[in-house]
Amino acid sequence: MRWGDNRMSVPVIDIHSHTGVYGRKEVGPLADGMRTAGLDLTIASVVADNKVIKRDETGLLRCMREPDEGELFEHTWQQLDRLDAAIEEDGLGVLLDSGDLPEGPAVLKAIEGGDYLEGDLSRVEAAYNRGVRSMQPVHYRINELGDIQTEPERHHGLTGFGREYVAEMNRLGMVIDLAHAPEAMTRDTVGISKAPVMISHTCLQMPDDPHPRMVSAEHARAVAETGGVIGVWACGFRFSTLDAYVEQIVRLVDAIGEDSVAIGTDQFAGAAKKVFPDFEPFGRLPEMLKQAGYSETVSAKILGGNFLRLFADVRAAAA
């Protein structure tokens, strides 16, 4: 946090949001809001399968039809165009490499779901050339790379194409984000990846509420034990206050340690709006982590340091 009243020794980072893709009408100029709240960097994700998913009668997002050829690639590129326009119009920086964090509020561009690849591995590098530095293989559609948490598994782990994707992400120095990937796919990925991975937005399963988008302690440790990072999700359909969000941070730190936990709100998606309707709550997190018993050193890891270390490790593995 380099602006505002609560100054920290490392940047404050949200490792999963839809800033710039959505939310500009609600919060106004993005750089102004981030600067006021002390949010230094947000990972801004476009959604590759957005055209083919919608909520079913229970409220769960599901794939409702198979896409036409080229549809999701075109849609993903259009969203990146919109994100690029927001970055330019609102005066945001873009993080492309470790050690190069811009002086003002910035984004790291990401893609949620490898559906836009349509089996074409060259599109990973095409996204890299557009400034994308992180990508989830899956979202709410089982695709050529693997399964998802919210549907019965078909592939039971990474596919052959999924393994090629992991190698290509490693080669380019892009962060593999295993949010929405089931445990089998996660274990396959960490078993072959030359770089640590992250799960950008999830929570530990609650004993009385085993929601499929949450992860078990064993699932979380599979990522943490290889140097990975897990972002705590502001899943507003399970809790609606910042106090409850901090409680989930504490639960995850207790399970996997202070070196593996980050902030991953999913800001400007529906589930996160109850907890993070705008940028203001980020300004309260440092004091709330202190009240939860964390030193400034530990708080700095959670608020941004752990992701910066991960990103540096991923970039170094590609060198």
- Does some domain include residue 262? yes
pLDDT higher than 50, residue 107: yes
- Does some domain include residue 8? no
pLDDT classification of 3: cutoffs 50, 70, 90:
very low
10-26 pLDDT, tens digit per residue, is 689 999 999 998 767 76
- Does some domain include residue 4? no
pLDDT higher than 50, residue 27: yes
Which CATH number belongs to the domain containing residue 272 in this structure? Answer: 3.20.20.140
- Does some domain include residue 5? no
Q: How far apart are CA 18 and CA 22, in angstroms?
A: 6
DSSP state of 35: H
Give the pLDDT confidence score for residue 14 in this predicted structure: 98
* Torsion, Cα of 125, 129, 134, 139 (10° steps): -70
Structure tokens at 190: 């960490």
- Does some domain include residue 103? yes
**For range 312-317, the mean pLDDT:** 97
92-106 pLDDT, tens digit per residue, is 999 999 888 898 999
pLDDT classification of 8: cutoffs 50, 70, 90:
low
pLDDT classification of 9: cutoffs 50, 70, 90:
low
Q: Which secondary structure element, helix H or strand E, spans residue 169, and what is its range?
A: helix 160-172
157-209 pLDDT, tens digit per residue, is 999 999 999 999 999 999 999 999 999 999 999 999 999 999 999 999 988 87
pLDDT classification of 229: cutoffs 50, 70, 90:
very high
280-300 pLDDT, tens digit per residue, is 999 999 999 999 999 999 999
Q: Evaluate whether 39 touches 282 at the Cβ level (below 8 Å).
A: yes
Q: How far apart are CA 183 and CA 149, in angstroms?
A: 8
Judging by DSSP bridges, how do beta strands 41-47 and 106-112 pair with one another? parallel
The pTM assigned to this predicted structure is 0.95
- Does some domain include residue 292? yes
**For range 50-60, the mean pLDDT:** 86
The domain tally of the chain equals 1
**CB within 8 A of 201, min separation 6: which ones?**
15, 16, 179, 231, 232, 233, 264, 265, 266
- Does some domain include residue 169? yes
Domain assignment of residue 35, given as a range = 13-318
Q: What residue has token string 């030359």?
A: 194
Give the pLDDT confidence score for residue 237 in this predicted structure: 84
DSSP state of 67: P
pLDDT classification of 4: cutoffs 50, 70, 90:
very low
241-278 pLDDT, tens digit per residue, is 999 999 999 999 999 999 999 999 999 988 899 999 99
* Inter-axis angle of helices 122-129 and 160-172, nearest 10: 30
- Does some domain include residue 225? yes
Q: What residue has token string 């919060």?
A: 27
CB neighbour burial string for 299-308, b if at least 16 within 10 angstroms, e if fewer = bbbbbbbbbb
Judging by DSSP bridges, how do beta strands 61-63 and 53-55 pair with one another? antiparallel
Q: What residue has token string 């409680």?
A: 247
- The DSSP line for 123-139 is HHHHHHHTTEEEEES-S
